[in-house]
A and B are shown apart, each in its own frame.
Chain A
Amino acid sequence: MSEHVPALTGAPVGTYQQYVTVRIASQLFGLPIQMVHEVFAPDAITRVPLAPPAIAGVLNLRGRIVTMLNMRCLLGLPAAEGKGMAVGIEHDGEAFGLMIDDVGEVLGLDTAKREANPANLDARWSAVAAGVHRLSGELMLILNVELVLRGAGTVKAITASSY
């Protein structure tokens, strides 16, 4: 796992990282704030035929085509009931939206207190998580955006080959 979470090893002790907290199903996740461009309510998502299941589709966000990733699907959770929210992120000049249930507050956390993924974490979860923070009353999983996008990509590779 260590090669998946390079940020862990190089982080100096005592530095603070701000996280945008989001909720998917009942679980709290944290996204490094510098990755998050915006938060928006996804509307009029167009399905992409034959796309990987984790890709919900694309939408037009102020003239830009945003590829929407269904986080619940990626994490193997049942589909959400409500419309939910989306976190806009930018990667390699392309715009992506992570579909989540709800957006919470921004938390500043000590990186030194971050703990590694529990060994028995669901494989689909540990594939996108870069560690855990213990908050008062609950645990927050850190989402690694790179891994999330790669996760959507691997799913693609499988579906493409089976096609």
Chain B
Amino acid sequence: MDDLLQEFLTETNESLDVADVELVKFEQDPNNAEILNNIFRLVHTIKGTCGFIGLSRLAAVAHAAETLMGKFRDGRPVTADAVTLVLSTIDRIKWMLSAIEENNGQEPEGNDQDLISLLEEMAATELPPPEPEPVPEPPKVEAAPQTLERDLLPGEIPLDELERLFRETEVELPARGKDKAKEAAPAASAAASSETTASASSSKGDSAKGDSSKSDAPKAEPPAEPKAATASVPAPVTTSGAIAKADGRTPATQGGAQRPSGTPSGVPANAEEGTHASALSAQTIRVSVGVLEQLMTMVSELVLTRNQLMEIARRQGDSEYKVSLQRLSNVTGELQDAVMRARMQPIGNAWQKLPRIVRDLGQELGKQIELEQIGADTELDRQVLDQIKDPLTHMVRNSADHGLETPEERRAAGKPERGTIRLSAYHEGGHVIVEIADDGRGLNVGRIKQKIVERGLATEAEVSKMPDVQAFRYIFQAGFSTAEKVTSVSGRGVGMDVVRTNIEAIGGTIEVHSKLGQGSAFVIKIPLTLAIVPALIVRAADERFALPQSAVVELVRVQPGTDHAVNWFNNVPVLCLRDKLLPIVALGTLLGLAPEQDAHQADQWTDALIVVLRVGAETFGVVVDAVSHTEEIVVKPMSSTLRQVPMVSGCTILGDGRVIMIVDPAGLAQGAAARGAEAAEMDLNTAEATHRAAAAEERTSLLLFRAGSREPKAVPLGLVTRIEELEVSSIERVKGYPVIQYRGALIPVLYANEEVGRAKSGTQPMLVFSAEGRVMGLLVDEIVDIVETPLDMQLSPSGMPEVLGAAVISGQATEILDVGFYINVAFGERFEQLTRVSTRPKLLLVDDSAFHRDLLAPVLKGNGYDVTTCSSAQEALERLGDDEEFDAIISDLELPDMDGFALAAAVRDDPRNRDLPIIAVSASRDRDTIERGRAAGFTDYVARYDRAGLIEALKEFAGRQGAAA
């Protein structure tokens, strides 16, 4: 592909991007002739240049579009349809351009008759321009138009026009000088800035025409010279006169419109063309990105070498090179700055496509959207720019789709129908802040929080305390969408997480602010550049690492006797820094370079260096072995095999030639969070099931004692009424059973097992259990301790009926004994005799934990109830369905498959069971659970180990039931 074509493609693409923006503006403000002119000129330039290079297909399309644009200039009302058509034409042109680029300069096969005919149709069906066509004055210079032997192809430029163009181009520079000399400076600048004002156009007309037609034409008279110029173009261009009329302008129009076709460079070479950039363009040159990149690499190398030299100088102390080295250092710094600046591009480049997107979205969604752009000239590194282009587009789409309401909704909310999306950008200390704000409905905190709970990302209790800003952060989670319906635009829950990832990948952060009903704002903070960053060099696990300075908040030294200290929560270290608690991680351990157990030695961080980092709103501490110095490091990319390595964003070469890793603070934050989650997961695993976890969290008081073997045994302290030292001589026997007199009554006593020593004299420790008036004593060898511990019991297959299971308590395997068993043994038979089975109230006990079942059932039996046990809600429902009649149900709330709430609801569904008392037993005691229980149909609620409460409840409800029956 030749250079000319290459240049044409680059420029045309740029022009088209501008055309997109201009068209959208035009649609909103159809009376702005300046915008219209800009677009017309752009399309015309494309057409003209195409003809020049011989791209006939492209030229034909551009020509048809230009015709329609010409109509608009005639004053034809601009409809959304028409703009859509022109926009789609521009899309077609873009497609062709890319095809040309791919095909090495060849136009793609086929034609665009469909589009062209649409364009022509629209242009043709239009009413004639409202104003009468002015009488064409005979053209002065172009009076003798040269004609071709054949018909011109669409878009081809007639020879006479070409000739005129050449003439004009030739003399433009002198004209400018003359103009400037003749006119006052303000006039010249006016001409440069605007061609539409009357004064400007007149002076311009004067100057433009002054050379081509020797100023013969009267100033403001519309002689419709263009007629001659365009008349020979065969297509439906019959509008030139009207063009002039619509613009209220003289041949300048013609010049303005057509001159660019004669200057294929496309860069307006003179200020008279009136585009804003023109004055600047003379001072700029086009440099390929490759050259810039190469420059940047070389400067980076230079910076590295400088750093190495500085390092050597530091070591040598006083040396004669010092002064020159200082100069070299300064110059290098300046060079670095300059090259960086060369790489800078206005952020507006990333916004260029947005007006078009917003417009299309607005049409699709039936919303009126205004896109405000503030600070489009804010500059940042093109590498960064490329990275944020897509996230920005996505967020603007999101704002348009979710953020803004429909016109009806807006009216109802008392807002103007037209919604606004405001894009703004500005510099703030080495960073660029980009804000995407809309005045739409805002984020619904309630819904987001609800969603957070639904997705199990946090508990209800956590969510209720969560500040809004923190809740908003969850919208960046993958798959998190609160949109009620998925539209073609957004709402699929993909995207925002990608946005965050992209932004964090370049060391940026994103935050959301929102007020329900007033709109929301996304604030993105991104670094100016990625190539050279100031970094803190630290040492950990015998390696050095670079921590980007932008993330470093402060350095803290933890020492005994200072205000700061490392505290441990269940093996998780936290730093008490002033009034805050920060999670801390050891850098070496997190990076997998230091052994894991180091981190678990609670005493190792009594003297530690902690770098406090902030990523987004996350603040955490990183424990390092040493802090070295700060340095401007040149970021070198990792090889492709290493790019996916977490927590490392690149590497750099230090002054001594060693390569060190650049730690990615965002990755560190994630890694640290993952470790926390891992720890939580481990807890869950040991607890086996959620109810177990709840039970484990709730600490149980256990009485530890020895009975027989050396290993301690335990019973829940709640079941023990007293601990006595029994005078063994007081043991009597009734019907062969040992009994004692205890507080004026005879109570049975049992030895805990066969191995328990039978003291012949003196005293022996005795536990007294009581179950509603029934009291018994249990003789043991020795009382060991009372401990409060999370109870995580494994059922024991020991086969011994008195043993419920075993648990590790205070580091020792401990058997948990079954109080119910002993009560049964001591009282069972006697109760059987005392109460007739048929009259005993029947209870259904539902608990998936055998431990709890075995704990409760004997107590209940001891109180004169007939107990049927079930391990699941399903089983309970089956039992109920078996026409068995129960006087009450006692159910655990946490059950597998179907929880207690669902069970209660299912029970209540059966009309026969409407009045059946259901008593909930659960470890959790919070108000919410109790409320939920009541709503589900529970009659009463009793805490798990509150046996007295349970018996009371049973008396009240099961008794009442019995009385009613």
Residues of A within 8 A of B (CB): 44, 46-52, 55, 58-60, 63, 65, 67, 92, 94-96, 149, 152-153, 156, 160, 163
Q: Which B residues, 636 to 691, have Cβ-Cβ distances below 8 Å to chain A?
A: 636, 638-642, 644-648, 651, 653, 657-661
23 contacts between A and B (CB under 8 A): A44-B659, A46-B661, A49-B648, A49-B661, A50-B592, A50-B645, A50-B646, A50-B648, A51-B642, A58-B642, A58-B651, A60-B657, A65-B639, A65-B653, A65-B659, A67-B639, A92-B640, A94-B639, A94-B640, A96-B639, A149-B641, A160-B645, A163-B646
A149 CB contacts on chain B under 8 angstroms: 641
A47-B647 CB under 8 A given contacts A60-B653, A67-B639, A94-B639: no
B300 to A, closest residue via Cβ = A63
Instruction: Please determine whether B591 and A49 come into contact, CB atoms closer than 8 angstroms.
Output: yes
Interface flags for B291-331 (1: CB within 8 Å of A; 0: not) read 00000000001001000000000000000000000000000
Interface flags for B581-596 (1: CB within 8 Å of A; 0: not) read 0000000000111000
Given A44-B657, A63-B301, A156-B644, output 18 extra A-B contacts at Cβ < 8 Å. A44-B658, A44-B659, A46-B651, A48-B645, A48-B648, A48-B651, A49-B593, A50-B645, A50-B646, A50-B647, A51-B645, A55-B642, A58-B638, A58-B642, A63-B653, A65-B651, A96-B639, A160-B646
Top 8 nearest A-B pairs (CB, nearest first) are A49-B591, A67-B639, A46-B659, A94-B639, A60-B659, A58-B659, A60-B653, A65-B636
Instruction: Please determine whether A46 and B543 come into contact, CB atoms closer than 8 angstroms.
Output: yes
A152 CB contacts on chain B under 8 angstroms: 641
A57 to B, closest residue via Cβ = B659
A58 CB contacts on chain B under 8 angstroms: 638-639, 642, 651, 659
B650 to A, closest residue via Cβ = A65
Instruction: Please determine whether B651 and A156 come into contact, CB atoms closer than 8 angstroms.
Output: no
A54 to B, closest residue via Cβ = B641
A156 CB contacts on chain B under 8 angstroms: 641-642, 644-645
CA distance A49 to B648 in the complex (A): 8
Question: What is the CB-to-nearest-CB distance from A41 to chain B, in angstroms, rounded to a whole number?
Answer: 15
A160 CB contacts on chain B under 8 angstroms: 644-646
Residues of B within 8 A of A (CB): 301, 304, 543, 591-593, 636, 638-642, 644-648, 651, 653, 657-661
A157 to B, closest residue via Cβ = B644
Instruction: Please determine whether B645 and A60 come into contact, CB atoms closer than 8 angstroms.
Output: no
Instruction: Please determine whether B592 and A49 come into contact, CB atoms closer than 8 angstroms.
Output: yes
Instruction: Please determine whether A46 and B642 come into contact, CB atoms closer than 8 angstroms.
Output: no
A48 CB contacts on chain B under 8 angstroms: 638, 642, 645, 648, 651, 661
A47-B658 CB under 8 A given contacts A65-B636, A96-B639: no
B543 CB contacts on chain A under 8 angstroms: 46-47
Instruction: Please determine whether B648 and A60 come into contact, CB atoms closer than 8 angstroms.
Output: no
A67 CB contacts on chain B under 8 angstroms: 638-639, 641-642
Question: What is the CB-to-nearest-CB distance from A128 to chain B, in angstroms, rounded to a whole number?
Answer: 14
CA distance A55 to B638 in the complex (A): 12
A60 CB contacts on chain B under 8 angstroms: 653, 657-659
Q: Is chain A's interface secondary structure helix, strand, loop, or mixed overall? A: mixed
A65 CB contacts on chain B under 8 angstroms: 636, 638-639, 651, 653, 659
A51 to B, closest residue via Cβ = B645
A44 CB contacts on chain B under 8 angstroms: 657-659
Question: What is the CB-to-nearest-CB distance from A157 to chain B, in angstroms, rounded to a whole number?
Answer: 8
Instruction: Please determine whether B641 and A50 come into contact, CB atoms closer than 8 angstroms.
Output: no
A163 CB contacts on chain B under 8 angstroms: 646
B651 CB contacts on chain A under 8 angstroms: 46, 48, 58, 65
B304 CB contacts on chain A under 8 angstroms: 63
Give the residue among B639, B640, B657, B661 with the most A Cβ atoms within 10 A: B639
Please tell me which one of the listed residues B301, B593, B636, B646 contacts residue A47 in the complex, with CB atoms under 8 A apart: B593
CA distance A63 to B658 in the complex (A): 10
Question: What is the CB-to-nearest-CB distance from A140 to chain B, in angstroms, rounded to a whole number?
Answer: 26
Please tell me which one of the listed residues A49, A59, A96 contacts residue B647 in the complex, with CB atoms under 8 A apart: A49
Give the residue among A47, A48, A55, A149 with the most B Cβ atoms within 10 A: A48
B639 CB contacts on chain A under 8 angstroms: 58, 65, 67, 94-96
A58 to B, closest residue via Cβ = B659
B660 CB contacts on chain A under 8 angstroms: 46
B591 CB contacts on chain A under 8 angstroms: 49-50
B642 CB contacts on chain A under 8 angstroms: 48, 51, 55, 58, 67, 156
CA distance A38 to B657 in the complex (A): 20
Question: What is the CB-to-nearest-CB distance from A74 to chain B, in angstroms, rounded to a whole number?
Answer: 12
CA distance A49 to B659 in the complex (A): 13
A95 CB contacts on chain B under 8 angstroms: 639
CA distance A51 to B640 in the complex (A): 12
Instruction: Please determine whether A59 and B659 come into contact, CB atoms closer than 8 angstroms.
Output: yes
CA distance A47 to B591 in the complex (A): 11
Give the residue among A49, A52, A59, A94 with the most B Cβ atoms within 10 A: A49
CA distance A42 to B658 in the complex (A): 12
Give the residue among A65, A94, A95, A153 with the most B Cβ atoms within 10 A: A65
CA distance A160 to B642 in the complex (A): 11
Give the residue among B640, B645, B658 with the most A Cβ atoms within 10 A: B645
A52 CB contacts on chain B under 8 angstroms: 641
B659 CB contacts on chain A under 8 angstroms: 44, 46, 58-60, 65
CA distance A49 to B644 in the complex (A): 12
Question: What is the CB-to-nearest-CB distance from A61 to chain B, in angstroms, rounded to a whole number?
Answer: 10
CA distance A63 to B636 in the complex (A): 10
CA distance A39 to B638 in the complex (A): 22
CA distance A48 to B641 in the complex (A): 11
A96 CB contacts on chain B under 8 angstroms: 639
CA distance A97 to B591 in the complex (A): 23
A50 CB contacts on chain B under 8 angstroms: 591-592, 645-648
A49 to B, closest residue via Cβ = B591
